[in-house]
Amino acid sequence: MTWRERLALLLGAASPFAIADHSAAATPNTLLWTEGGDEPVSLQPLEFWNDPAHTHHLLQLAGHRSHSSHSSHSSHRSHVSGSGGHGSHYSGTPSYTPSYTPVLPVAPAAPKPVSTPAPRPAPSYQPSSPSTLFEASPAARPSTPAPPSSAAGASSGLVTGSAGQAPQDVAAGVERLSQDDISRFVQRVQIALMIKGYDPGPADGVLSPKTREALRAFQTAGGLTVSGNMDMATLHALGVLK
Amino acid sequence: MSIGLPLHTHAAIEGVERVELLKVLTPEEARGSHLGETDVLLLEDEALVRRGGGPIRISSLRNPEVVGPGDVVRLRPGSSLVSVLYRRGSTSNTLFATERCNSLCLMCSQPPRDEDDSWRVGELLRQVSLVDADEPQLGITGGEPTLLGQGLADVLTACRTYLPSTHMHVLTNGRTFKDRGWAERWGSAHPDHVTWAVPLYADVAEIHDEVVAAEGAFLETLQGLYELGRLGAAVEIRVVLHAITIPRLPQLAAFIYRRLPFVRHVALMGLEPMGFAKSNRDRLWIDPADYIEQLRAAAFHLADRGMSLSLYNLPLCVLPRDLWPFAQQSISAWKNAYPEICDGCVVRPHCGGFFASAGPSWRSRAVRPLKLEEFA
């Protein structure tokens, strides 16, 4: 890892520039670092800051950054995540009540994700399709009517790929995961993100927009596919599958 | 106390007439291997068997888990010991170069012995030829590996031949690199795939020389570092944190940034309570909880300036959260342990834990299990 990449990794979630929406985070090359200075420079248009609540959030971040001698501290950032979090800026309710029961296969699925290192003990969570564990892309969402708002959409992303798949996967042996199981797993991911210096908000087991932002920042810094999803490559990189 | 898998076990061994280094393979993998049948121990149901070159049979392994497919083991005549020299899938495989050393560090975990062990070179060359070709990283340690002289260059050349994509990580005190001829010989043996990891304990000679118990070592190491820098070699600086190195740690960080800008990585390392460290405990021990201020100053001095930094051998619970992203799970699996106090800690899967050799007297008062509520 070069120092530039390292720096990007460290600054990732601390930088207000990491607070980007889907489209911004999907193009990691728009973040550049100046040669001499400590501050990152973004070539990204700043429209996505227009939400006043968002701006307030960024000012908070900036305040924390200005009085800190260094740039990447989760302890500083954790103030920002404080109470409520900024899930409240989104129109939907962050509590998730999916209208179907998420399922997760217990038997190892046939196609292994390409990115998975070979000599590992079988992870306790196996994807039923390559690289999708908790898939939130609209394509993988089941036909069940989904709540319209973005936050609720994010929450209902707590779905395995198999939920939208053919019944033979279910016949291969799947175990119904309780809401608690999923919540605990998301909590593990949130704690792993905090340890690596990102700010997913409180470890409350809710795959909140803030947690997705942290996932995107982590994926960007690590050269992974930037999706905001808990895909296999990301989970391995976070060390939550060992 | 939970502890990693050991590297040795005993067994009933038949047919060993000289020291043998052998590759353990399943029959299926052996069929596709380039290795000959004199090199391979086949992993069968009840035993490990060599068919060629005088049959060898190993049975009744006391701990069968110690030996697995892909491993390289050493057998000695008249001994029941099976030693694993290379473990497939482990991230801490090393080549042990020599027991000799030209320093005598106060906290040395592997106290040197002044015996001619140049016979190791032959064994190392053999070992290199048996390691998996897709092994990502291999360490070379000692003693001081450069005391092998041309032997070290030969071992590195063998790595270049047999393991062209494996990254080599060599622990050396750097003193012998002050000789440009040797620096060039070692530096050119495998130029693109070696990191030279060199300890530096202070920005001033007095402290560094005291820690390594060798007069003039500081100057020699610095000269050696500049020779490595001159060659464009990849250099890592290692600092062991203890009562003698802590007071000037921030100054050392500034020194590294200013004087050794070619350094690629700096590792600040908690003390391993082994070897000399145990007998010098009075001079060395400082509770990590009492050096957080110096550690933080040094760490951010380097990290803020873009230097790649890691913290080794320090459990997460003793570190402030802003240092967590630098903490690595650095302790080799076979000497890594978690005391009972860690039960139920939510960051344990990400924590480096402790050296198995670290009794309660070597444990920081800050050690505690972290609770989920602290992250909510």
The domains located in chain B, with CATH, are 2-86 (no CATH), 94-324 (3.20.20.70)
Among left, alpha and beta (phi > 0; psi -120 to 50; other), residue B363 is: beta
What's the pLDDT at A242? Answer: 64
Q: Is B320 on the interface with A (CB under 8 A)?
A: yes
**Cα dihedral: A122, A128, A132, A138 (round 10):** -170
| Contacts with A69 from chain B: Cβ below 8 Å | 300, 304
| Contacts with A4 from chain B: Cβ below 8 Å | 306
Nearest to B324 among A7, A74, A187 (CB): A74
CB B307 within 8 A of CB B329: no
Residue type, B321: R
What's the average model confidence in pLDDT over B83-98?
95
What's the pLDDT at B2? Answer: 52
Nearest CA in chain B to A10: B325
What's the pLDDT at B5? Answer: 86
How does pLDDT run across B240-287, given as a tens digit for each residue? Answer: 999 999 999 999 999 999 999 999 999 999 999 999 999 999 999 999
Q: Is B333 on the interface with A (CB under 8 A)?
A: no
With an 8 Å Cβ cutoff, are A195 and B325 in contact?
A: yes
Nearest CA in chain A to B305: A38
Query: For chain B, what is the mean pLDDT?
Result: 95
Tell which wins on pLDDT, A153 or B218.
Answer: B218
How does pLDDT run across B193-212, given as a tens digit for each residue? Answer: 999 999 999 999 999 999 99
Interface test with B, best of A38, A191, A199 (most B CBs within 10 A): A191
How far apart are the CA of A113 and the nearest CA of chain B, in angstroms?
Answer: 19
What's the pLDDT at A109? Answer: 36
How far apart are the CA of A213 and the nearest CA of chain B, in angstroms?
Answer: 17
| Contacts with B88 from chain A: Cβ below 8 Å | 119
Closest among B241, B291, B230, B231 to B266, alpha carbons compared? B241
CB A95 within 8 A of CB A150: no
What's the pLDDT at A145? Answer: 42
What's the pLDDT at A111? Answer: 38
What's the pLDDT at B147? Answer: 97
Q: Are strands A31-33 and A40-42 parallel, antiparallel or unpaired?
A: antiparallel
Nearest CA in chain B to A237: B350
With an 8 Å Cβ cutoff, are A194 and B321 in contact?
A: yes
Q: How many whole angstroms separate alpha carbon A205 and alpha carbon A182?
A: 8
pLDDT band at B359 (very low <50, low <70, confident <90, very high): confident
What's the pLDDT at B52? Answer: 85
Nearest to B308 among A6, A71, A72 (CB): A6
What's the pLDDT at B54? Answer: 87
Q: Is B349 on the interface with A (CB under 8 A)?
A: yes
Is it the case that residue B50 has pLDDT exceeding 50? yes
Q: How many whole angstroms separate alpha carbon A145 and alpha carbon A147?
A: 7
B302 DSSP assignment: H
How far apart are the CA of B324 and the nearest CA of chain A, in angstroms?
Answer: 6
| Contacts with B300 from chain A: Cβ below 8 Å | 69-70
| Contacts with A38 from chain B: Cβ below 8 Å | 304
What's the pLDDT at A179? Answer: 85
| Contacts with B325 from chain A: Cβ below 8 Å | 9-10, 72, 74, 195-197
Nearest CA in chain B to A71: B304
| Contacts with A5 from chain B: Cβ below 8 Å | none
Residue type, A63: G
Tell me the count of A-B CB pairs closer than 8 A: 66
Q: Is ipTM > 0.95 here?
A: no
In DSSP notation, B125-193 reads: HHHHHHS-TT--EEEEEES-GGGGTHHHHHHHHHHHHH-TTPEEEEE--SGGGGSHHHHHHHHTTSTTS
Q: How many whole angstroms separate alpha carbon A66 and alpha carbon B65?
A: 54
Nearest to A203 among B89, B321, B375 (CB): B375
For A75, phi and psi rounded to 5 degrees? -65, -40
Q: Reply yes or no: is the peptide bond before residue B143 cis, omega within 30 of 0.
A: yes
What's the average model confidence in pLDDT over B167-181?
98
What's the average model confidence in pLDDT over B25-47?
94
What's the pLDDT at B333? Answer: 82
Q: How many whole angstroms separate alpha carbon B201 and alpha carbon B190?
A: 27
Is it the case that residue B347 has pLDDT exceeding 90? yes
Mean pLDDT in runs of 10 for chain A (242 residues)?
A: 44 38 37 38 32 34 35 34 31 34 38 38 38 41 40 39 42 65 92 96 95 96 94 92 72
Among left, alpha and beta (phi > 0; psi -120 to 50; other), residue B216 is: left
With an 8 Å Cβ cutoff, are B347 and A204 in contact?
A: no
What's the pLDDT at A219? Answer: 97
User: B39-73 as b/e, with b when 16 or more CB fall inside 10 Å?
Assistant: bbbbbeeebbbbeeeeebbbeebeeeebbbbbbbb
CB B226 within 8 A of CB B193: no
